[in-house]
């Protein structure tokens, strides 16, 4: 069972519930994927969300990433940071 308690974090209070639901769905689909599988998956998800005219501004993105890091080990946080950096590079 998926734990969606992160969606109730006050830091995400300003984000449209429809966007949070989309993120929840993506998180569920991403479970079990290796780090090598995640980047193409996330790039495809970003492309699809843009096609659906759903995007996140930099403040929303930062809030989401910060919430994702809660309770993670330093190594897990480092992996999240690396993944975010790779995505930023592909977006340029």
Residue 23's CB is within 10 A of a number of other CB atoms, namely 22
Q: Domain residue spans in the chain?
A: 5-91
Q: How far is CA 67 from the centre of its chain?
A: 10
Write out the chain's pLDDT in tens, 92 residues.
456 778 888 999 989 988 888 888 888 888 888 877 877 887 788 788 878 888 888 888 888 888 888 888 999 889 889 888 887 887 66
What is this structure's pTM? 0.71
Q: How far is CA 28 from the centre of its chain?
A: 11
Report the pLDDT value the prediction gives residue 78, as an integer from 0 to 100: 92
Q: Looking up tokens 């980047």, which residue turns up?
A: 39
């Amino acid at each position: 069972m998926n734990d969606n308690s992160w969606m109730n974090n006050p830091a995400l209070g300003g984000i449209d519930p429809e966007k949070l639901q989309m993120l929840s769905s993506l998180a569920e689909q991403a479970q079990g994927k290796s780090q090598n599988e995640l980047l193409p998956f996330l790039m495809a998800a970003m492309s699809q969300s843009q096609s659906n005219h759903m995007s996140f501004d930099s403040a929303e993105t930062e809030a989401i990433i910060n919430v994702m890091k809660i309770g993670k080990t330093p190594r897990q946080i480092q992996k999240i940071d690396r993944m975010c950096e790779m995505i930023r590079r592909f977006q340029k």
